[in-house]
Amino acid sequence: MARLILIRHGETKWNVEKRLMGQSDSPLTPWGRRQVELVASRVSDISFDRLYSSDLGRAATMAGAISSVCGAPVVYRQDLRERALGVFQGLSWEEAALRFPRDSELFHSDPDFCVPEGESRRDFSLRALGFLNFVADSHDGLTVGAVTHGGFLDMIFRHVLGIDLMAPRSARLMNASLNSLDFENGRWILRTWGDISHLEEHEPC
DSSP H helices in 4-145: 13-17, 30-42, 57-70, 93-99, 101-107, 121-138
Specify the pairing of strand 74-76 against strand 50-53: parallel
Q: Which residues of 147-182 are buried (b: 16+ CB within 10 A; e: fewer)?
A: bbbbbbbbbbbbbbeeeebeeeeebebbbbbbbbbe
For 151, the enclosing helix (H) or strand (E) is: helix 150-161
Instruction: Point out the residues that are catalytic.
Output: 9, 82
Strands laid side by side in the 143-148 sheet: 74-76, 50-53, 143-148, 2-8, 178-184, 187-195
Contact 118, 87 (CB under 8 A): yes
pLDDT of res. 171: 85
Task: Compute CA distances 18 → 39, 166, 201, whole Å.
Answer: 23, 21, 25
C-beta separation of 80 from 53 below 8 A: yes
pLDDT of amino acid 172:
86
Supply the pLDDT for residue 205: 55
The pLDDT assigned to 203 comes to: 73
**Would you call 149 helix, strand, or coil by DSSP?**
coil
Give the burial class of 139: count Cβ atoms within 10 A of its Cβ; 0-12 exposed, 13-18 middle, 19 or more buried.
middle
Task: Chunk the chain into consecutive blocks of 10 residues (it has 205) and report each block's average pLDDT, rounded to whole numbers.
Answer: 97 97 96 98 96 98 97 97 98 97 97 96 98 97 98 98 94 95 96 95 75
Specify which residues 145 forms β-bridges with. 5, 51
| CA dihedral (137, 143, 148, 149) positive or negative | positive
